[in-house]
Amino acid sequence: MGCERRLFLTAALLAVFLCSDAITGGREAEAHSRPYMASLQVADGGRMKHECGGFLVADQWVMSAAHCFLSGSEGRKVVLGAHSLSEPEDSKQTFDIVQVFSHPDFSISNYDNDIALVKLDRPIIASDAVKSLKFQSDDGADPATEQEVNTAGWGSLNNLGSRPDKLQELVIAVMNRVRCGRSDYYGRKFTKNMLCAASKQSDTCDVSLPQNIL
């Protein structure tokens, strides 16, 4: 069984459904306290622009969301070791994308199985700012209802869509599956492959993995 297949089996247990690309009410994370975080970037004029998040799962593999690659991976790069997206940091490592393996059952209609494995053009150089994440095993249990989980990313800070330059983090609670499937929440878009989580004061909104519920 290939590396990408083994990772997909494990990743299926981590798929998370929230509502859009945002971390509303988050706070700035301690610099490089989450060394697995990845920024997937696309060319925008003469510079690279953050488009999606992801996280490092092996020396040459990043996990992200399949919807980030609907138009392919050409022109996209992966940046690891970043805290600030704009400031130069000696810890940053930039990679080309060799190949993307999107989940074969990914559905754009409701973002079910919204998982992709991204193969980097070379292995990482491990450091305090760049390390892979030890994630849930195949036989691990899903987080319980009301259990607090951590999420992080460079998603929108508010409903106006303003995005942070520095990595944000947020503690949220897993919601009851029945509640998530109600018509006044996510309805039929919420499937058995998904979890949802939120906070009364603030929330994280994302489809599947880009902001990484851990």
**Strands, E, within the chain: which ranges?**
17-24, 27-28, 37-44, 47-58, 61-64, 76-80, 93-102, 116-120, 148-153, 168-174, 197-198, 203-207
Chain segment 82-129, per-residue pLDDT in tens: 999 999 999 999 999 999 999 999 988 888 889 999 999 999 999 999
Chain segment 16-35, per-residue pLDDT in tens: 433 345 667 788 999 999 99
Which stretch, 3-12, 65-74, 128-137, 139-148, has highest mean pLDDT?
65-74
Q: Helix count (H) and strand count (E) of the chain? A: 2, 12
- Domains of the chain, earliest start first: 3-207 (2.40.10.10)
- Say if residues 145 and 175 touch (Cβ distance below 8 Å): yes
Distance CA 79, CA 154 (A): 13
Return the number of other C-beta atoms located less than 10 Å from residue 108's C-beta: 10
